[in-house]
Amino acid sequence: MPIEFQRRPGLVIYLTVGDPDLATTRDVALAAIDAGAEVLELGVPFSDPIADGPVIQRASERALAHGTRLDDVLALAAELRALRPSAGLVIFSYFNPVLRFGLERFCRRAPSSGVDGVLITDLTVEEADGYLTEMHHNELLPIFLAAPTSSDIRLKMIASVSEGFVYAISRVGITGKQQNLASDARQLVDRLRRFTQLPIAVGFGISTAEHVAAVSEFADAAVIGTAIVSLIEKAEPGTAPAVIASFLEGLRQGQQTAPAR
């Protein structure tokens, strides 16, 4: 079943769990939900985040230095589910931490922790058979990345195995802010619409109200990651939740409530 977005576009917020510490991540997550984030991507810190830019790389390093592990991410998900039952919760991870934890164990534990879906950033659909079997067995929603460089054949394959929503990468490269939203994003979403009725979220580089407004014209949700992590990195101790809430409220300026497709 798809993840429902009540506004157009929905806001999907990425957090590196454990940066700067678990208590702050919890408070930021709650503040983000209360400020309008409909889905949280709970990022599992990893020592070699090859798809991420320097901001999220530094966040992962700080979280790992504090000892944050996948078990902590699942524990946080359970706490958030209890406190904000309607929020969408997605585990965002590289495959290595899941394999180390144990794939079957992870897929059993995640639903009981209130997790809706999982996005493994470096797992391709061609290599995902065993993973998908465990996900389906435990009623977890697999979410996959779709890139502008993907062929129509591959987009159809991604769409056929995705649940929850499809994550459309706005441009090729690593995560990070960008000045203008690439036209590739609109073209990619248009291509994906041919193969799926699922909501489509656009991410990689979205950081301004203008970006969110642009996304609202053609996609169902905007994913904000690096901009959030950067604000947390720069925030004075104890101020990150308020900073993030203010930022998200600013992103909504000029946006009107509208149902997703």
Q: Of 52, 72, 163, 220, which is the active-site residue?
A: 52
CB atoms within 10 A of CB 127: 11
Q: Quote the DSSP letter at residue 220.
A: S
Q: Of 19, 38, 41, 220, which is the active-site residue?
A: 41
Active site residue 41: yes
CA–CA distance from 189 to each of 119, 196, 220, 221, 224 (Å)?
A: 18, 10, 10, 11, 17
Active site residue 34: no
Q: Quote the DSSP letter at residue 104.
A: H
The three-state DSSP-derived secondary structure of the chain is CCCCCCCCCEEEEEEECCCCCHHHHHHHHHHHHHCCCCEEEEECCCCCCCCCCHHHHHHHHHHHHCCCCHHHHHHHHHHHHHHCCCCEEEEEECHHHHHHHCHHHHHHHHHHCCCCEEEECCCCHHHCHHHHHHHHHCCCEEECEECCCCCHHHHHHHHHHCCCCEEEECCCCCCCCCCCCCHHHHHHHHHHHCCCCCCEEEECCCCCHHHHHHHHCCCCEEEECHHHHHHHHHCCCCCHHHHHHHHHHHHCCCCCCCCCC
Angle at 208 between CA 215 and CA 198, to 5 degrees: 25
Q: Which residues are catalytic?
A: 41, 52
